[in-house]
Amino acid sequence: MSDTENSPAKTRPISGTENSWCKAASGGTGITILSLLLIKQPNFTLLHNSLHKLQLSHPILRSKLHFNSLSSTFSLLIPSSSTLRLTHHDFQSTAKIIQSNPPSSDPTTTFQILLEHELNTNPWENLDRSSISCSVDVLHASVYEIDEVGKWAVMIKVHTGVCDRTAAVALLKELTGLMKSSNGGGDLGESGGIKEREVSLGVEEYIPSGKMSKPFWSRGVDMLGYSLNSFRLSNLEFVDPDSRRSSRVVRLMLDSDHTSKLLEGCKTRGIKLCGALSAAALIAARASKSLPDGEWEKYAVVTLIDCRKLLEPALSSHHVGFYHSAILNTHDMKGSEELWDLARRTYSSFEDAKNSNKHFSDMADLNFLMCRAIENPGLTPSSSLRTSFISVFEDPVIDETNENYEELGIEDCMGCASTHGVGPSIAIFDTIRQNKLDCACVYPFPLHSRKQMQDLIDNMKKILIDC
């Protein structure tokens, strides 16, 4: 490898979708964090080596996001070798971080405070407002020593534009696999060498031909529909629209009994979990306002689709990059909705849109609107930068890798991304781990308060259990 070590970085231009994420991340949306809570001290050398191996096999993970201030464009610089440094916070430095992020009255664990701290430490902040060209790594990693309980937190931060949720899950699986299988011999995997994958391209390069285009008039009408709708949309009440925002997390967990009943309920009705989650959230949001029954409100729901299997060629879940697309639907609510009726309604409108390829045909329009909102916050209600009430993923993450977890001493795990720039009022990151539903619900604070969100999520949980 020594002959390539000093060879210059390759440059790869970014795609339209990636460009929107670069702009979003610059303002605080799209900082993905994978967080692990360990009950034994991680082996730093091993962790460091494993991360290096991941960056060798997935070149995009060792790239730097570059902003050229002359042309005002982003690109990826991909060096030939990895230069990742693992940041280590000893217990004093961790304690300082916890002190400066005082938990609110409800039980927030140290692990969650550290997760929020990571979501709000933005290495790409204002990258595109800089007057000098600069570049910042897309991947960062830190270890925190949590004194009082003798635990450790490992946090991996990655730019959403180059690593969507599917890739983040694959990354975590590969990382724990490497840390488990490697016995410290310093060898580079089974075959003695790392197989370097090709640099991934943007999602637009893989859209099946014909599916992205749509008739000129239809495009104009849909765009008008999206932008007119945004003024008629209802939002969760804004508590403080003026102060500087950060991302916070409320966790929604169901035990295995309630989870299996909920999944069974979805299955018998032929709908996916995302339908039930968004319906429960809509009912809880409507109920949080003291409006008379029968008064109509319109809410927007964004459903994120992992397009990998629909692309040409189809991509594996280990293909690192951003390959999600969004479908935006609006739903009229008048109070007194019943969960399964509403879930069927939300899910079928999503399914219809997907069947007519809206996730491909409207991709460019939604990217354009997202960038418009970022550039002109005044186009959104109270300059809140909220573009929908909620975002859900079409499919949950199914995590059954508990053997690795036990051996490595992993006690808890959460994965989510920041939303305090442009985004929804609640972004749901759902995982089913050991048959239990575990959702990280990310919201912008203090636009919404912790109490408001906790109440909403508690109510949502009640609705899901009672059904």
Ligand X SMILES: *[C@@H]1O[C@H](CO)[C@@H](O)[C@H](O)[C@H]1NC(C)=O
Residues engaged in binding ligand X (CB under 6 A): 43, 45-46, 182, 184
Distances in Å between the Cα of 371 and the Cα atoms of 31, 184, 229, 389 are: 17, 46, 17, 18
Tokens encoding 305: 């689709």
Closest contact distance (angstroms) between CB of 46 and ligand X is: 4
C-beta of 49 vs 401, nearer to ligand X? 49
- 120 Cβ contact list (under 8 Å, min separation 6): 28, 246, 247, 418, 420
Q: Which of 334, 371, 337, 464 is nearest to 21 (CA)?
A: 371
C-beta of 180 vs 269, nearer to ligand X? 180
Closest contact distance (angstroms) between CB of 156 and ligand X is: 18
Angle at which helix 363-375 crosses helix 16-26, to 10 degrees, equals 30
Q: DSSP H helical segments within 58-164, as ranges?
A: 91-100, 110-119
CB count within 10 Å of CB 133 equals: 12
Secondary structure in 3-state letters for 411-450? EEEEEEEEECCCEEEEEEEEEEECCEEEEEEEEEECCCCH
Tokens encoding 246: 């950060």
CB count within 10 Å of CB 44 equals: 11
Q: Which residue is closest to ligand X by CB?
A: 184
Secondary structure letter of residue 448 according to DSSP = S
Closest contact distance (angstroms) between CB of 186 and ligand X is: 6
Closest contact distance (angstroms) between CB of 89 and ligand X is: 19
Closest contact distance (angstroms) between CB of 80 and ligand X is: 23
Is-cis flag, bond preceding 102, omega within 30? no
β-pairing, 151-159 with 246-253?
A: unpaired
C-beta of 49 vs 227, nearer to ligand X? 49
327 three-state secondary structure = strand
**Do 426 and 281 touch, CB atoms closer than 8 A?**
yes
Closest contact distance (angstroms) between CB of 47 and ligand X is: 9
Closest contact distance (angstroms) between CB of 49 and ligand X is: 6
Tokens encoding 120: 């709000």
Distances in Å between the Cα of 313 and the Cα atoms of 18, 296, 358 are: 19, 44, 19
C-beta of 40 vs 462, nearer to ligand X? 40
Tokens encoding 222: 């849909």
Residue 189: is it exposed, middle or buried by C-beta count within 10 angstroms (0-12/13-18/19+)?
A: middle
C-beta of 181 vs 382, nearer to ligand X? 181
Q: DSSP H helical segments within 191-272, as ranges?
A: 216-232, 256-268
Closest contact distance (angstroms) between CB of 43 and ligand X is: 4
C-beta of 43 vs 135, nearer to ligand X? 43
C-beta of 185 vs 294, nearer to ligand X? 185
C-beta of 47 vs 146, nearer to ligand X? 47
Q: Tokens 């259990």, residue? A: 465
Closest contact distance (angstroms) between CB of 36 and ligand X is: 17
Q: How far is CA 23 from the centre of its chain?
A: 15
Tokens encoding 264: 């069974």
C-beta of 179 vs 437, nearer to ligand X? 179
Closest contact distance (angstroms) between CB of 204 and ligand X is: 40
107 three-state secondary structure = coil
C-beta of 8 vs 184, nearer to ligand X? 184
395 Ramachandran zone, left/alpha/beta (phi>0; psi -120 to 50):
beta
C-beta of 46 vs 95, nearer to ligand X? 46
Closest contact distance (angstroms) between CB of 38 and ligand X is: 14
Could you give the CA distance from residue 90 to residue 97 in angstroms, rounded to a whole number?
11
C-beta of 48 vs 197, nearer to ligand X? 48
Closest contact distance (angstroms) between CB of 44 and ligand X is: 8
Q: DSSP H helical segments within 120-207, as ranges?
A: 165-181
